[in-house]
Amino acid sequence: MTIDAIKLALADELFTKGRIWSAPTPAPTNPELPSSVPETTKTEVKLVKLAVSHAMKDMPYGDTISVVVDEVIDKALSDDPQGFPTDGSIGAALPTLTSRMGREFGAVSVDLLEAGGVKGIPSDLVQEVTNGLMSGRYSDMTSEDWKLWINKDLRQKLVGQFVAEYDNGAAIADIVEGLLGTLEEPAEEVPPVAVEAPSLPTALSLKAKATSVSSTIGSFGTVGFEVSPREIFTLNDLSRKRTARFAEHKVINGKARLQFNGVDLWSTTIKINLDRNWTDPEKRIEQLTQIQESGEHYPLVVGGRNFGQFVLLDYSEDIKTFGRFGEIEKAELSLSFKEYSDEGSGIVRISRIRTAAPAPVKTTAPAKKMAISNNYGGR
């Protein structure tokens, strides 16, 4: 039983049949599984259900979706007792699948219901259109494409099209078909900000790949920071520090004199929050650790500003939450970068301190020896 099969079953149960609008939440049937289902599979199924329930607890219509997931899995096991994989693949994917489903459905349904209320469109008709739209969307697209919940412009476009077609007297099926057609149109991509990075000293393949990374927020090496319908992976708490170097010369009976010797290298720190609902934590962690282990330097670009060449000096990760199957749900990364300079000592300039010539030391001639006489005529 593949993730695609579960996706299609969920779409059919939730939206085609209107199960998501059920109130109150139906109780799970929990049928007895066939005796032919292995015990390892039964254990895996329990873990999957717990993971889905945990992931959906704060999502729109999460309770209903959790119940339907339970029923879909139980039915699939009844139909094919040996078809449920026990390698953890479904358990790891279902929480993300269902949480995206809940977020997307909640965002679309709220927008369409608000528009329907303003225009006086019956709520039952709005619900039917929403169910048809979501069912067709889930059936035809992968979960990575379910980003309507963060794409307000596209949702507003769908709302406008829905109201216009309703005003023209279109049937529900035609409205749904038109909305799905709009979703299939290629998205208009805003070209990224072009950042000219300095040429790299070697022709290593990893460095060549690093210079090709483009992002509207920034990049370091092969890692690009972005906020888009595909992914939310960005940085925060950027901090930079650099120290000037001065030599101190002591002066007799006077204040010390300072001599400017240059500036130290820049130190930069950033923090990154990873959330499985928006990005792949394991993939991003692997990318960053590989960069650190390579010891290579790359341009650090943030907000269209190239800060120069840096190496990843310190890397630390704080895993906040694990999923039921050991996958990382939330984590916080702290990265420290050090500027890389190949300009000799890196000293920008040297200032010499001019001091007055020392005053000549006055000396006196040694005193002449004098003869001393006494009353006794001796010397």
- Among the ranges given (81-85, 200-204, 261-265, 284-288), the one the predictor scored with the smallest mean pLDDT: 200-204
**Residue 349 pLDDT:** 36
Buried b (16+ CB within 10 A) or exposed e, 147-158: bbbbbeebbeeb
- Cα 250 from Cα 227, distance rounded (Å): 55
Residue 38 lies in a domain: yes
| CATH number assigned to the domain comprising residue 317 | 2.40.30
Co-location of 179 and 296 in the same domain: no
Rounded mean pLDDT, 328-343: 89
Residues 76, 168 within the same domain: yes
Please report whether residue 192 resides in a domain.
no
Give residue-wise pLDDT tens across range 270-302.
999 998 888 888 989 988 998 999 889 988 888
Residue 198 within a domain = no
Considering the chain, what is the average pLDDT of its residues?
74
Give residue 45's pLDDT band: very low, low, confident or very high (50, 70, 90).
confident
In a domain, 193, yes or no: no
Name the band, by pLDDT with cuts 50, 70 and 90, for residue 356: very low
Asked if residue 51 is part of any domain, the answer here is yes
Minimum mean pLDDT among 59-73, 121-135, 228-242, 297-311: which range? 59-73
Residues 234-250, mean pLDDT to the nearest whole number: 91
Q: Which of 238, 200, 198, 241 is nearest to 217 (CA)?
A: 238
Calpha distance 247→162 (Å, rounded) = 73
Check residues 148 and 322 and name the one with the higher pLDDT.
Answer: 322
Is 164 part of a structural domain of the chain?
yes
| 149 and 234 inside one domain | no
Inform me whether the pLDDT recorded for 264 exceeds 60: yes
Cβ atoms of 60 and 51 within 8 Å: the answer is: no
Q: Do both 179 and 217 map to the same domain?
A: no
Using the 3D structure, point to which of 339, 359, 374 is the last residue of a domain: 339
For the chain, what percent of residues have pLDDT higher than 90? 16
In a domain, 373, yes or no: no
| Residue 307: inside a domain | yes
Range of the structural domain that residue 238 is part of: 205-339
Q: Are residues 163 and 285 in the same domain?
A: no
**127 and 266 share one domain:** no
Per-residue pLDDT at 198: 42
Same domain for 164 and 18: yes
- pLDDT for 355: 43
Residue 320, pLDDT > 50, answer: yes
pLDDT, tens only, 84-96: 666 666 766 777 7
Q: What is the C-alpha to C-alpha distance for residues 10 and 4, in angstroms, rounded to an integer?
A: 10
Does one domain contain both 97 and 34? yes
Same-domain status, 14 and 122: yes
Total domain count for the chain?
A: 2
Query: Of the given ranges (27-36, 148-157, 188-197), which has the lowest mean pLDDT?
Result: 188-197
Cβ neighbours of residue 204 closer than 8 Å, sequence gap 6 or more: 296
Q: Are residues 44 and 148 in the same domain?
A: yes
pLDDT given for residue 67 in this prediction: 79
**268 & 173 share domain:** no
- What number is the average pLDDT over the span 303-332? 88
Let me know whether 32 and 110 are in one domain.
yes
